[in-house]
Amino acid sequence: MILVILGAPGAGKGTQAKRIKEKFGVAHISTGDILREELKKNTDLGKKANEFMKKGELVPDDLIMKLIKNIINNDNSCKSTGFLMDGFPRTINQAQKFDEMLEDLGLSMHKVINIVVGEDELVKRLSGRRVCRSCNNICSIHDKDNRELILEGKCPECGGDVYQRKDDDREVILQRLEVYNNQTRPLIDYYEDKNILASINGSGSEEKIFERILSTL
């Protein structure tokens, strides 16, 4: 099964991708996570990508396509288990190149899940988002049950330290949403025309949203 999970920043792609991965055993390929890892390791790719990421802009397509090609060509397990793209593609050019790549490999996309959330809610979620340094859990200061703990900087899942992503700063958030509207939103029509798009309401509990996703698969 080859899936793409689409949605604005803060729509909950990463959270739902983890659930889909657990349920179906597919590889979860998050370009944002991979680029942040590269930066942590201080690689050339990480440093180059960070110049764009910190401003809320997209990393150039050629760098992203090289990264995707490397993963898909070198990781045979993802071809056998199937994979879930999270945060990729983000431009029409990336989507077209990805289609060509899949065709060359004799693979085809099963479904594109588009998680829909209103803009006010996205800003609230992104500015309240925290990520665990130890287990990568994504949590929120708006989570009533764990608010105190998260504000103290602790992860409700593993007790590790949580941090706020640099690009979850308010000004960068607004820039990312504009970039999404201009460059990524057109992918909705692109995949609708191919008859593989399933749009779901991204408001409500994580469980409810996951149920909606399952009902489309």
CB of 186 to ligand AMP, least distance (A): 14
The DSSP call for residue 100 is: H
Of residues 31, 20, 13, 135, the one with CA closest to residue 81 = 20
Helix/strand number for the chain, H first, E second: 11, 8
Q: Contact with ligand AMP (CB under 6 A): which of 59, 112, 115, 126?
A: 59
Report which residue's Cβ sits closest to ligand AMP.
Answer: 32
Q: Contact with ligand AMP (CB under 6 A): which of 17, 87, 122, 187?
A: 87
Work out the widest C-alpha separation in the chain, in whole angstroms: 51
* Separation of alpha carbons 66 and 150, rounded Å: 37
Any idea which residues carry the catalytic annotation?
A: 13, 90, 129, 165, 176
* Separation of alpha carbons 71 and 24, rounded Å: 20
The answer to whether 31 contacts ligand AMP (rule: CB under 6 A) is yes
Binding mask 94-133 for ligand AMP (x = CB under 6 A): x---------------------------------------
Of residues 84, 102, 101, the one with CA closest to residue 24 = 84
Which one of the spans 31-39, 119-127, 142-150, 193-201 is the region binding ligand AMP (CB under 6 A)? 31-39
Whether 114 and 192 have beta carbons less than 8 Å apart is answered as: no
The answer to whether 202 contacts ligand AMP (rule: CB under 6 A) is no
By CB under 6 A, what part of segment 163-192 binds ligand AMP?
Answer: 167, 176
Mapped onto helix, strand or coil, the DSSP state of residue 116 is strand
Residues that bind ligand AMP (CB under 6 A): 9, 31-32, 35, 52-53, 56-59, 64, 87-90, 94, 167, 176
